Amino acid sequence: MAKNKLNKNWLHDHINDPYVKAAQKDGYRARAAYKLKEIDEDEKLIKPGQVIVDLGCTPGSWGQYTRRKLAGKEGGGINGTIIGLDILPMEPIADMHFLQGDFREEEVLGRLAEVLQGRKCDLVLSDMAPNLSGIASADAARMEDLIDLAIEFSQMHLKPGGALLVKCFKDMGFSQIVEKFRAEFKTVTQKKPKASRVKSSEIFLLGRGLKNPAATHPETR
């Protein structure tokens, strides 16, 4: 009975959520687009000509927003490169390279290398979150694992002056995650966009400037 009430409350909140309504009106696949939009407008993250990777990109609202920011090239298309990776399938987004698979696997990394053609990324985005078990310690460990993956990916593929934006949760090993970011990035900023539900412990971390960048490909210097 309590579960049904919870589901009804969630459904009521969801249907009346202004960001859900805005997403439907603006053609975004999820309300999450407005979280990225607000952070981007505050931090000036997304600029024409950039190479941007979206980790855990399904269903694609972050990719849609990014594409709109890079649009405007003469003759259509975009000024820049957007690459989305996810183990789940995703409906195509115009001008976005979607690679389905686990980005820890050589085959997927090989396909990524084909798209990058030796270039490093300006921005890595991650809206990834674990499937929650309800066991606090296990959920925190899963969240930390996802952040570790995003940081490792950034160490391999990010330009020295590039940025990594990740989703995390205040109640899931947050202080350890912040410390990891501070160890890797010159500046670390916490962002809680208005589109993030007030009841949620969701928060975003933005790291800029790798402290120990990997060797840079000559063409990207």
Give the start-to-end residue ranges of the domains of the chain. 30-220
Q: Residue 115: is its pLDDT beyond 90?
A: yes
In the predicted model, what is the mean pLDDT of residues 115-130?
96
Percent of the chain with pLDDT over 70: 88
| Residues annotated in a binding site for S-adenosyl-L-methionine | 60, 62, 86, 102, 127
**Assigned token pair, 169:** 């949760």
Q: Residue 72: is its pLDDT beyond 90?
A: no
CA–CA distance, 52 with 65 (Å, rounded to integer): 12
- What are the distances in angstroms from CA 146 to CA 17, 66, 104, 151? 28, 22, 11, 9
In the predicted model, what is the mean pLDDT of residues 22-49?
96
CA–CA distance, 34 with 40 (Å, rounded to integer): 10
| Residues annotated in a binding site | 60, 62, 86, 102, 127
Mean pLDDT in the chain?
Answer: 90
CA–CA distance, 63 with 53 (Å, rounded to integer): 9
Residue 10: its pLDDT value, please? 45
Query: Is residue 69 annotated as a catalytic residue, yes or no?
Result: no
Q: Supply the pTM of this predicted model.
A: 0.89
CATH 3.40.50.150 fits 30-220, yes or no: yes
Q: How confident is the model at residue 27 (pLDDT cuts 50, 70, 90)?
A: very high
Exposed, middle or buried, 32 (CB in 10 Å: 0-12/13-18/19+)?
Answer: buried
Residue 174: its pLDDT value, please? 94
Closest among 202, 158, 148 to 179, alpha carbons compared? 148
Other beta carbons within 10 angstroms of residue 157's beta carbon come to 21
Q: How confident is the model at residue 211 (pLDDT cuts 50, 70, 90)?
A: very high
Block residue for tokens 């405007």: 72
CA–CA distance, 154 with 35 (Å, rounded to integer): 21
Q: How confident is the model at residue 218 (pLDDT cuts 50, 70, 90)?
A: very low
Active-site option among 69, 159, 167, 180: 167
